[in-house]
Structures are given as C-alpha cells and as structure tokens.
Structure 1
Amino acid sequence: MNKLIYLLATIFFITSCKKESNQKKINIPNQKTEAPFHVNFSKIDKKKKKELKSKISKFYSEKINVDHFSGGFLVAKNGEIIFEDYEGFSNYKDKKKIDKNAPLHLASISKVLTASVILRMIDEGKLQLEDTFQKYFPEFPFEKITIQTLLNHRSGIPNYAYFTDKKEIWNKSEMLYNTDVLKIICDGKIDLEFRPDSKFSYCNTNYALLALLVEKISNMPFPEAMQKLLFEPLNMKSTYIFDYKKDKDTASLSYKSTWEKIPYDHLDAVYGDKNIYSTPRDLLKFDLATYSNKFFSDSLRAKIFKGYSYESKGVKNYGLGIRLREWENDVTMFYHNGWWHGSTTSYLTLKKDTVTIIGLSNKFTRKVYQTKQLSVLFGNYPFELEED
C-alpha cells in the first residue's frame, strides 16, 4: 500500500513539473522583446495619417509611378509606414516581379551603410576620425588623408572610375577589385587632385578604401563584415553585398528606360561605394536605428549630421556619409541619392520630423529624385508639391 501511495505521489509530482515546465515555455515567446536599437516614437493620429496617405498616393501616381516605374517606394513617419508600393520586374525577361522582399541595387546609398559601420567602429574605440588611412595601410602614400576626409569626401583622391579608364593603368577586360584600387594608388600611379581637407569633391574611391578598412578592423571580408555588424543586428534580411562571381546571374538587373538590359562592366566588383542590394523596408529599419544612442552615441551623431564643406556658397553640403541641404530658416534635410547603370535611388531622412522617404528604381528614371518634394508635408522645407 505504501509503495502504491509513493508511486502515485511520484507520478503527480512529475506531471506537475511537466505542466509547470510547459507553461514557462509557452510564456517565453509571448514576452515583449525589442530590437537592440529600438526607439519609442509617438503614434500618428489616424486622421492625419489618412490625409498624408492620400497626398502621398497622389504624388506617387503623378510623379513617380509613370512611364512603367520599376522599383519600390516607401514613406514612413515615426516608424509607421504611411505609403508603399512595388512595381515592375527585377528580371524583365523572366517577368520576375518586384515585391517588398526583392533586393535592388542601392547605388550610392550604399555609402550611407558603409559609413555607418565605420562610424560604429569609431564609437567602439576601434578607430578615430583623426586616424590616417596610412596608419592601417602603411604602404598608402598619402599621409594626410584621414578617415574623416574619406567619409566627408575631402581627401583629394581622384575617382577610380576615371583613372582606371586609362589603358596604361588598367585593362578593362579584367574585373577591378577594391584591392586593385589600393594597389594602383600605392604603386604611385596617380596623384591627388588637391590638398587633403582643403575642399569637397565627391569621389567613389573614398568609400572603396573605407570598405577595405572595414575588412582590416573586423578581420572579415566586407560582405561578411557588413552582414555580421549591420544587416543581422538590424534584421535586414533582404540586404546583402553583391559578389560579382557569386551573384551576377541571380541579382536584380538594371535597365535603360526602354527595358534594355545594361550589362556588367569591369567596375562592378568594387564595393563600399556601391554594390549593396536592399529594400525600402530594410532601409527603414536602418534609418530608425540611427535615432538610437545605442547605435550612434549622441556625441558622434552630432558630428555625422553636420556639414564640413563651406568653401563655396550654397545650401548643399556633406556630413559623414550623408548629404545635407541647409537653409537659412534653420531647416536641414539629410539625404543620399544614387545612380549606377540603370539604377537610380533616393533616401531621405528628415531627422527633426522623424520621417523616412525611400525610392529605389532598377529601370533608369530621374523621377525618384523628386521625392524631396514630399518633405513639405512634414515640415517647413522650401519645396512645393507640383500640381499637374
């Protein structure tokens, strides 16, 4: 009898433990978890959101989605998507449609993402803005070029797309890689166009070199480093670095306005300045993270979103990996455009108004650059929404 009571008690105990264990397992997934760079934004008034959506939709249909637009378009406020749409084909011949998960070539918006990894390394104490590039690549011949002058395009280095166009420097039947760009410079085959930090000159070479610096500091190939250090932490699942050897047959293609496919050329293996493929939704994730002081420290953010080039008058300027337009009414627009082959892209981040506007096209059109006009819906920006 005692054995029976003991056996029943044991069964009851084990069963109770299993129930308790099962209850804990069920509760864990229901716990609220936040992204590592989560920022709380206020909710948008429903009436206001509906009004904004109507105006943006009208602008999109009249200014962007004309002449068979191919790409993705998104507008968000406080992290809430107000409007988005996807049209066209990532592969026109196969009629492979573009949707919210289809990665498109960001062209020079890639610079924003490359810069962010460098800047986070600075926040982590692995680099300093004042460090010379020569410190990490002793063979580099220009001792006064710093990480900062690479980030803000004040280095004086000429564009690799131009100096490799000379047959005595590069055989265009061969693919050019970032390491080739560095070797050409280190071999003394080019001169600086001006004294470092004396003026601004937008140049892709700056970011091709910064990609090599990412590799040096992370001890990983650039595609892997960007994946581990940026894309995975931000859950940017549809974003990757284009690898010419691996991805040339599967990546989204780019086209002329007539749907004529634009072939790859010898410059299509260089990354950092370009060759990041992503989606509007993934870019929104990145943009939202930039508001977090866990992503950028407040002190570094102040250096990122400021102009460095005031030698010439005008509203246009460049920060650290981002373009600026600064107006006299103390309103600043932050943005970056891109153009590579047939891909034309635009990324606007209105920091004061917590607004993100993204237009990505893989079929050539300048219309995506008109997205800046939408800024007037959110703040005192000197644009007008044109009426037909």
Structure 2
Amino acid sequence: MALIFISCQHNNELNKNQKEFKKKHPLFSSQFENQIKNIYKEKALFGDFMFAVVDENGLAYSFTLNRDILEGNKTSLTNNSPIYIASHTKSFTGTLLKILEEKGELDLNHSLAHYLPELNYSDSVDTKTINLKSLLNHTHGTMSLPLIWKTAFIGYSGEDAELVNDLNTDFRYDPSHKFRYSNVGPIIAGLVVDEVTGNTWKDEMKRYIFEPLKMNNTSTYVTDFDFNEIRPSVTATKEIGIIETGFYKKDITMHASGGIISTLNDLSKWLNVNMKQDEILLSKNSWADLHTSTTEQDREYFTYKRIGYSLGWDIAKYQNNTILTRFGGLAGISFHISFLPNKNIGIIAFSTDSRANILPHLMANYAYNQLNSLPADSIFKEEKKKFSEVFEKKNKKLDFNASDILENDPSHSILGVYQNKLGWPKISITKKDNYYIFNWGVLNGKIYKTEKGKLLTRLGVLNRTFEIKNDSLLTGSLIYIKVKE
C-alpha cells in the first residue's frame, strides 16, 4: 500500500520559519537559484535537483529544479517527492542501535560472539574482538563480496541465515581493525537488531525513528510508494543525451547501509533533530556519542577533509568549520546531508544526473559560504572547476555503442538458466523482440557486444561483462553452469 503524502503538514510553522529566514538572508534565494540555473543551462543537465536549508527551527528554505521547471512546464517534482538516500541510511542505523542501547536491549560494547554466535567466519576470526560499535564505525575488519552484492544489487532469499552463511564462507579479514568504509558493518548490525528484538531492522526503524519524528512519508520498503513517483536516476552523455532512466531498488535490496526512501520535508525533521539533539529520540549524552568521532580517518572527498567517523557520520573540516556529513549515491543518484554543529545550519541536497554527482556538494558549499558571510562567489568559482572536471569525464562517450545490441541468432544458443555452486542468485537469459535480456537476481538488462569480443549487460545500477563457453557463463571470477532441461 502506497504511503499518503501530506503536503500541508506543519505548514504554518514552516511558512513562518521560511519568512524569518528570508528576512534574515534577503539575497540568498536569488543568488543561489541563479547559480544552480546557470549550471543546468551550461552543462545541459537532465534529471532533478532538490535542495533545503535547515536551521534550529526546521525547514528554512527549499528549492527544486529540473528541465520542466526551467522551461516553465508542469512537473511532479515537489518537496514531497520520494527520494532514495542511499548510504545516509548508515546514520539512521547508528541512531537506531543507540536507541536500542538506551532501552537496554543491547550494548554497543558487547561482541558479535555474544549477539550472533552463529557468525563465526569458519572459526578463523575471533568475534569476541568485534563489538557492535566497531560495526557502526567501520573498524570491524571484515568484508564479504557476496553479502554486499546480494543486499545492494541482485537480491537473495530474504533469510538472515543466508547472509550469515555468506559471511562465514566467503570473506576477507583485516586484523588491524583500522577504519575501512563499507556496507558490511551496518548490515551485520541490522542482523543483530533482528536477533535481539525479534523484529526486522526495517520495522524497528519505523517504530523508533520514523514514527516519533512524524516522518510519515519515509520508509525502508520500496513497495510503500507509488514506484513511478520515486525520483529515478538519469544516465546521459553529451553525444547521446539520455541513455536510460530508472530506479533499481527492490524491497529485498533495501538494507541497513542503504535502504531508506524519504522526502525533503521529512528529512528536514531528521536533520533538525540531529542539530538540536532533541530528546524525543535520545538523551543528550547519546547524541554526543553519535556526533563525536570514535575512530580516525584521513581521507579527502571533494572539498571535505575527513578526520574521523562517529557511529554513522563522517567528521570533517570545511572552511575551518567542523562539518558532519554522510552522503550517498547509486546509479547516478547523489545525496548530500550535512550540518555545522557550531552554526546550527544544515543542508540537504539531491541530484539524479549521472554526470553531476558532485553537484549537491558544490551547491551545499555555496549555501554554507553565503550564510556564513564568506566570499561565496569566488570560492564557488574555484570549486566549480573540480565539479566540471568530474562532469566532463562522465560526459564522454560510453565504452560501448548503444547500437551494438546483441540481436537474436537462429540457434538461440545462449538462452537458458545458469546456476552458481557458491549460492549466488541464478542468471537467466531470455529473448524479447529481437534482442536478449540478461536477468540476474532482481536486476535485468539488454545484452550488448563489446569491441573486445565479450558480451556486456547494462543492469541499471551496474554494467557487467561476461562470456559464454559451451554451457559455462563466466562473469568476473564467478562461474555459472547452464541447467539442463
């Protein structure tokens, strides 16, 4: 059943706050909107751009843009349009586990051996040395490719036991326990939530975060939305224009590291409660734990110097300010959420053009610099150069021609079902009209020929090359064997 989108919720309060913001920053909207419109025109962007400023009183400013809006046409894009927040889900998951700790249902300092004794990594890893906190701050040291691919892309049975088996049988381990970002830790933390509460991570998220914050248009289930209303990614190049649009998530691939769909209005409530450290969710001490670095990192992303990681947020520096960020991306979708804890200002930004994944960060910086009375235009001019470099790399011709689609041959020898002995989801190749479809778990796409003689399938969220020899399908290191009829 689709969620009911309520556009008038708290309308008076939001209008009042927006008026106060405009009064305090009378030039902000015109300057900001001129910059983003100019970029849309200059780069000939497709897809959507959504933006919000949040302060201590909630949503203070918002703006949405796409080609329809730019050209004065009707659009369905609003503050209540469903958007996928990708890896920002990790911040929600960290908060959920902190809530459960306050309620006495778990202890972040207790080990995996205590909560998931069946997860033993074939007895080659001492899980007593891995606590729940290390799962959330990416210092647990474990990695499992099947776990990542099944939960994020191709799907699985839905049973936690399958994921535990993947972790036990196909994994890598770094005993140094240094910070190593991946989806694995929060997903295992989600398995712990399932175990200790008797409910799913998804249902506990709704119970303890979405409902208390009245985030009525937010869910961990794709099927709670009208699928056609979820803002899709847009794959495009300069030469071809739009190649493909789509949203490539199913319920089964919505997970604790990337499994929430929300709206600009709902996310403003989430960001506001983090900025205020509102006790509607947690005590002040617990909020401090969530927003304070628990491990070091030394990385740079765009203009952000990342120096630490809490239980779900990157701790970084920008323009001599401490900034908490946790971004996300998938198949062209780029999501930005951040706040300056010492300034009571936060930003939400979202774009869907596959070439413009830096755009939300560029515009967030411009807004911060405007609001902090820095030389925003000159800083923007320099930062835009970095954005343009990335954009132009992605704007080039694809590594295959869309015209090189593999057409049917009389023998149809590649048709059939292929299975893998290691438990990866089956692959089937089917025929549609005059071309072939590659089906892998919950994903599917057309098959193309490449210049190097291999075959390639575009599965929306990823491209995959493969070859078929006799009855064997080889893709990467995976071997599939055709099932005999």
TM-score with structure 2 setting the length: 0.60
Residue 79 of structure 1 is matched in structure 2 by 57
Q: Provide the identity percentage.
A: 19
Residue 198 of structure 2 is matched in structure 1 by 219
Contact 2:109 2:131 in 1 (8 A): yes
Contact 1:157 1:191 in 2 (8 A): yes
CA distance in 1, matches of 2:375, 2:29: 21
Contact 1:111 1:321 in 2 (8 A): yes
Residue 183 of structure 1 is matched in structure 2 by 165
Residue 369 of structure 2 is matched in structure 1 by 376
* Cα 1:338–1:137 shift into 2, 3 Å: same
Residue 306 of structure 1 is matched in structure 2 by 292
* Cα 1:97–1:45 shift into 2, 3 Å: closer
* Paired residue type of 1:195: P
Residue 360 of structure 1 is matched in structure 2 by 350
Match of 1:240, SS state, is coil
Measure how far apart 1:312 and its partner are: 4.4
* Cα 1:80–1:140 shift into 2, 3 Å: closer
Residue 279 of structure 2 is matched in structure 1 by 293
CA deviation map 1:133-171 (0-9, x unaligned):
221111112332111111111111215468759xxxx9x
Match of 1:356, SS state, is strand
57-66 or 333-342, larger mean C-alpha shift: 57-66
CA deviation map 1:152-207 (0-9, x unaligned):
11111215468759xxxx9x976364723222113x33231x126x3111110112
* Cα 1:312–1:124 shift into 2, 3 Å: same
* Cα 1:280–1:342 shift into 2, 3 Å: same
Match of 1:118, SS state, is helix
* Paired residue type of 1:49: H
CA deviation map 1:319-339 (0-9, x unaligned):
11011113795x310011111
CA deviation map 1:276-320 (0-9, x unaligned):
101121111012222213423222222222223336487312111
* Aligned residue runs from structure 1 range 102-141, under 5 A: 102-141=81-120
The one of 314, 339, 342 aligned to 2:329 = 339
* Cα 1:214–1:50 shift into 2, 3 Å: farther
Match of 1:68, SS state, is coil
Residue 456 of structure 2 is matched in structure 1 by none
Residue 34 of structure 2 is matched in structure 1 by 58
Higher strand share: 2
278-287 or 50-59, larger mean C-alpha shift: 50-59
Match of 2:26, SS state, is helix
The one of 253, 260, 263 aligned to 1:269 = 253
Residue 213 of structure 2 is matched in structure 1 by 234
CA distance in 2, matches of 1:58, 1:306: 36
Equivalenced residue count is 335
1:324 aligns with 2:315: yes
Match of 2:97, SS state, is helix
* Cα 1:121–1:47 shift into 2, 3 Å: same
Residue 146 of structure 1 is matched in structure 2 by 131
* Cα 1:320–1:163 shift into 2, 3 Å: closer
Contact 1:72 1:279 in 2 (8 A): no
* Cα 1:263–1:176 shift into 2, 3 Å: farther
* Paired residue type of 1:280: L
CA distance in 2, matches of 1:206, 1:337: 17
* Paired residue type of 2:94: A
* Paired residue type of 2:323: M
* Paired residue type of 1:284: S
Residue 48 of structure 2 is matched in structure 1 by 70
Contact 1:157 1:203 in 2 (8 A): no
CA distance in 2, matches of 1:227, 1:190: 31
* Paired residue type of 1:85: F
Contact 2:137 2:294 in 1 (8 A): yes
Contact 2:234 2:246 in 1 (8 A): yes
Q: Which has the higher contact order (CA 8 A, sep 6+)?
A: 1
* Cα 1:270–1:378 shift into 2, 3 Å: same
CA distance in 2, matches of 1:239, 1:265: 15
CA distance in 1, matches of 2:144, 2:251: 12
Measure how far apart 1:265 and its partner are: 7.6
